[in-house]
Structure formats: C-alpha cells, structure tokens
Amino acid sequence: MVPDALTGFARVHADLVVHDETAGFFRARHPAPGRRVAIVSGGGSGHEPLHLGFLGAGMLDAVCPGQLMASPHNRQVFDASRAVSRGAGVLHLVKNYTGDRINFGIAAERLAHEGIDCARVLIDDDLASDSPESATGRRGTGAAVLVEKVLGAAADTGLGLRELADMGTELVGRCRSLAVASAAHRTPATGRSAFDLAEGDLEWGVGIHGERARRTESRPALDELVTRMTEELLAALDPAAGDSVIALVNGLGGVTRLELYGVARELATGLDRWGLVLERVLVGDFVTALDMRGFSLTLMRADPETVKWFDAPAHTPSWPR
C-alpha cells in the first residue's frame, strides 16, 4: 500500500517533487535559490499530508517517509541529507518518537563522518504526553507543520545552521498541541479499529499512532470541549493579554471540514475572551492518523517576525496559503 501511494504522490506532484525510489526519499524539484542550509524531515506514513505535502520552496528540502506508522530507516535520512546538502549544513526536524530520534541520530553521525555539519530540532509539543512518568517526554504532533513553515521561510533568507537550529528550538517551546477523538483509526490491512470506544465517549489526549488517551470521558458539547482544550493549551503556554498566537485546527482524518470550521469558531471566540490576538489560523487535515475521527488544536505564541515568516510564500503540494 505505502509504496504504491508514494509512487502515486510522485506522479501527481511531479512538477514540485523528485522521488528517489531506490534510496527511499523525496526532494524538492525547485528549492529556494537563497537557501544555504537544507531542511530534512520525515516519519511514518499514514499522517499525510505531513511531511510530504510540505516539501518544496519555502518549507522542506527533503522528506523521508517510513512504512505505515513506522520511522524511516537511517539510511534514507543519510542519503536524503547528503543529496540536498549545499555545503552549509543540514537541519533535521525530528518529531519526538524513539524510532525517529534513533534513526535521525544515526544518520547525523554518518553525515559528520563525511564532513557534513548537521543539527537537530526536536519537536515535542503534545500536552497529553507531558508527564513526569514519561521516559521519552512529549510527543511531536501538530507543531511540526508550523515549525516547518516558519523555519523554511527563515532558511530561504540565507540564515546559517546554528541560527536556524536555535530558532527552531525556541519555536517549539512556544507551541503546544492537544488531540481528542471519538473513534480510532482503522488498520488498512485488517479494517480493525486500533482501539474500541463506546458510543458517546471521547479519548482526551489521543496520539497520532493510535496511542490511547490520557483519559476516556463522555463527549461534551463542542463549545465546552474546545474551551477546555484551549484552557489547557493556554495554561501551558502562559501568554499575557494582548499577546499574539497562530493556531492550527487539524483534522485527524475522519472529520469534515464543516466540523473543523465549527471548532475554529469556538477557538477564535475563546481566544477573544482571553484577550489574545489570533494572527493566523489554519483549518484542515495537516497531521492525520489515517481515518481517526478526531481533531487536534495547536497554538504557537507569535511575535511579528514569526508572523512574517508564516506569511512568506511556499510552493509545496499541500501548503494552503
């Protein structure tokens, strides 16, 4: 299933991407000419449009897709990074999952042996996995999209590797996400749900790989649900009245755009009530979990420079602006 889908993606978007089928990675066909540092990301398939949909000028230089819900091999990451390196280093954007960290780490060591400087930005924005009992820390979810966009625009101006790595780490610190679902995704091979959930129940803090949530509860009305999610996000980010934010209202694969705009309305109303400035908001499917019936909210505290990078042009298969 995954190889066929990747071949199809390459055919559909041949004007924007190049597929190295042997090495197992994609690169941008028309990278930005002013960029000195290459940006590489990747992860398991099944979360589309992440990351392939954000490959191109203004965002990513190369993407390494893994098998379904599985990390890419370190060889893919190494080959992709070497292929797009421009001599000023390679920046890896890595979601905080054990397999991703290990394989991107091995690739970085191999790149260093070849004289290619490499830095990492670890994306760990998921509030539901923010627990002292967690051995690995917060998972990486919706913030990946916002970080890829802002760093991509900054890289297009010619910033260096250390500047971009520091900026990326600071950006991640300004992002938090939270996801809920009323039904799990179905495994394509079997059609079975990743977990069972009773009618009328809700998973609060579900993961994009089907990880069970922090808790299961009765599904509240939409306004109450979004208010509670927003309150948790704001408690973690601690913005002051008058501060600006960028928001991502993200479908997990089984929610209609009509429903997501209803979520966006409740989110915007709540942010107004808290005295925050909603500078930009994206609504749609960006980081999915196959066909999971749920959505996530991501908030990023934003200064004027962040908004400027966010608004910069990007030419990728899935960036909507």
Same-domain status, 147 and 185: no
Q: Is 185 a catalytic residue?
A: no
Q: Which residues of 147-175 are buried (b: 16+ CB within 10 A; e: fewer)?
A: bbbbbbbbbbeebebeebbebbeebbebb
Q: How far apart are CA 222 and CA 258, in angstroms?
A: 13
Q: Is 321 among the domain residues?
A: no
Domain match, 136 and 190 both:
no
Q: Distance (Å, rounded) from C-alpha 312 to C-alpha 321? A: 9
Reported confidence tier of residue 136, pLDDT bands at 50, 70, 90: confident
Which CATH number belongs to the domain containing residue 186 in this structure? 3.30.1180.20
Q: Residue 53 above 90 pLDDT?
A: yes
By the 8 A CB rule, do 292 and 69 touch? no
Mean pLDDT of 299-317: 98
Nearest one of 185, 177, 210, 203 to 296, comparing CA atoms: 177
Do 12 and 140 belong together in one domain? Answer: yes
19 is a catalytic site residue: no
Residue 74 maps to a domain: yes
Instruction: Examine residue 316 and state whether it is found in any structural domain, yes or no.
Output: no
Q: Which helix (H) or strand (E) holds 85?
A: none
Catalytic option among 19, 51, 185, 209: 209
Residue 315 domain-assigned (yes or no): no
**Which range of residues forms the domain containing residue 64?**
2-173
CA distance 287 to 277: 24
Out of 13, 19, 47, 73, which one is annotated catalytic?
47
- Domain tally for the chain? 2
Q: Is residue 143 part of a domain?
A: yes
- What is the Cα–Cα distance from 91 to 12, expressed in whole angstroms? 27
Q: What is the mean pLDDT of residues 177-202?
A: 89
pLDDT digits (tens, 9 = 90+) for 241-290: 999 999 999 999 999 999 999 999 999 999 999 999 999 999 999 999 99
**What are the structure tokens assigned to 22, written together?**
């042997």
Does 318 reside within a domain? Answer: no
